Amino acid sequence: MKTSRSGDGRVTGAPGSTSGSRKDGRPMVIVMAKSASPAEIQAVADRVHKAGGEAFVSRGINRVIIGLVGDIDQFATLNLAGMAGVAQLTRISAKYKLVSREQYPHRSIVEVCGVPIGPDTVTLIAGPCAVETPDQTLAAARMAQSAGATLLRGGAFKPRTSPYAFQGLGERGLRILSDVRAETGLPIVTEVVSTVDIDVVVEHADMLQIGTRNMHNFPLLQAVGSAGKPVMLKRGMNATIEEWLMAAEYIAQRGNLDIVLCERGIRTFETATRNTLDISAVPVVQALSHLPVIVDPSHSGGRRDLVLPLTRAAVVAGADGVIIDVHPEPDVALCDGPQALVAGDMAELGRTIENLTAFMGRKPPSWRETAA
């Protein structure tokens, strides 16, 4: 028979930590109320000792914290939260240690060829969903650049739901991206869909994109962790925030902390939009992790008319950037035409971002952390 976890309702920490009797495994800390008496503190320590654990009492100026060591999941059955003088039970050391803000309280800046993505700027990444031809890619890149984009997105390897849909130009697409980078100076963000392609993608890309369908592809996450390039990790369309951060941890664990998280909408019961943009993920993740968080309004809404309002929402919610689909001729696009912006829309989006960047007290994209 499973024991109930009566204290769980008051356990705080990373989302998902309170569900059922699933083993948690993170250390537990008890914060005592300011008014807690020495006897109450002792009673808590005694109960933990009786259960075979250890209780380390740390006294601060205003409060007493008791760190518990031992079978933490068993401690959750002791109703410690209900004891006199206990203010809060907290689980610390999130499972995602390296990407956790507990470990690095300051928010990180990731640089892609000198372009910062982080708390001081709002970085605009834009380009075609898929690289189709040299002319189409260059035209999209020019539209992006004149609207203020400082990074070019473009898919050469496309993860498509249908095996009959355009799968991308592969290596030929990467070469087109490299040519367009030479022409425009825009560093390239492009997706890698398989460990098999990683070397060729790394040869051309400045930032590796892991798409929503691959967020749980652990060998791929590990491979990009060792690839020596910054990574943009999209949230799995069915992934919780904790799962997303655990996926980032896979990359970080291989020594790569240059990770930018991208909220791109999740699957819900709603069918009016392609996905449901989880705008709350922006502040939630920024509180849990030091990594930058950007938003993909194009894949979230899946509709051109939603891109501008969702971009506004993202920037004002505190996103560190947005990634936008743009196409010179969306009507004949081979991938995701209905959500691609055209020149006029793109220019308006650029102006909006510029205004909201100032409104949010952030710096223009030309700003460089390293220059400071």
Question: By the criterion CB under 6 A, which residues form the site for ligand PEP?
Answer: 129, 155, 159, 211-212, 234, 264, 296, 299
Q: Which residue is nearest to ligand PEP (CB)?
A: 211
Shortest spacing between CB 216 and Mn ion, in angstroms? 19
The DSSP letter of residue 209 is E
Using the minimum distance from each CB to ligand PEP, give the nearer residue, 89 or 239.
239
Using the minimum distance from each CB to ligand PEP, give the nearer residue, 68 or 215.
215
Number of helices (H), then strands (E), belonging to the chain: the values are 11, 15
Q: Where are the alpha helices (DSSP H) in the chain?
A: 38-50, 72-75, 134-146, 171-184, 198-204, 218-225, 241-253, 281-288, 297-301, 304-317, 343-359
212 binds, among Mn ion, ligand PEP, none (CB under 5 to 8 A by kind): ligand PEP
Q: How far is CA 212 from the centre of its chain?
A: 11
Residue 56: C-alpha distances to residues 59, 76, 112 (Å): 10, 17, 44
Of 370, 21, 3, which Cα lies nearest the Cα of 11?
Answer: 21
Shortest spacing between CB 335 and ligand PEP, in angstroms? 7
Of 257, 352, 259, which Cα lies nearest the Cα of 314?
Answer: 352
Using the minimum distance from each CB to ligand PEP, give the nearer residue, 66 or 169.
169
Shortest spacing between CB 141 and Mn ion, in angstroms? 16
13 binds, among ligand PEP, Mn ion, none (CB under 5 to 8 A by kind): none
Q: What share of the chain is helix, strand, coil (3-state, %, to 5)?
A: 35, 20, 45
Using the minimum distance from each CB to ligand PEP, give the nearer residue, 91 or 158.
158
Q: Applying CB under 5 A, which residues contact Mn ion? A: 129, 336
Using the minimum distance from each CB to ligand PEP, give the nearer residue, 142 or 264.
264
234 binds, among Mn ion, ligand PEP, none (CB under 5 to 8 A by kind): ligand PEP
Q: What is the chain's alpha carbon radius of gyration, rounded to the nearest angstrom? A: 23
Three-class DSSP category at 103: coil
Task: For residue 248, give the amino acid letter.
Answer: A
Shortest spacing between CB 213 and ligand PEP, in angstroms? 6
100 binds, among ligand PEP, Mn ion, none (CB under 5 to 8 A by kind): none
Using the minimum distance from each CB to ligand PEP, give the nearer residue, 101 or 158.
158
121 binds, among ligand PEP, Mn ion, none (CB under 5 to 8 A by kind): none
Shortest spacing between CB 315 and ligand PEP, in angstroms? 19
211 binds, among Mn ion, ligand PEP, none (CB under 5 to 8 A by kind): ligand PEP
Shortest spacing between CB 334 and Mn ion, in angstroms? 10
264 binds, among Mn ion, ligand PEP, none (CB under 5 to 8 A by kind): ligand PEP
Shortest spacing between CB 357 and ligand PEP, in angstroms? 23
Using the minimum distance from each CB to ligand PEP, give the nearer residue, 10 or 204.
204
CB 225 within 8 A of CB 244: no
Q: Which two tokens stand for residue 127?
A: 């380009």
The DSSP letter of residue 80 is G
- 120 Ramachandran zone, left/alpha/beta (phi>0; psi -120 to 50): alpha
* Burial classification of residue 105, based on how many CB atoms lie within 10 Å of its CB (0-12 exposed, 13-18 middle, 19 or more buried): exposed
Task: For residue 192, give the amino acid letter.
Answer: V
Using the minimum distance from each CB to ligand PEP, give the nearer residue, 18 or 209.
209
Shortest spacing between CB 2 and ligand PEP, in angstroms? 38
Q: Which residue is nearest to Mn ion (CB)?
A: 129
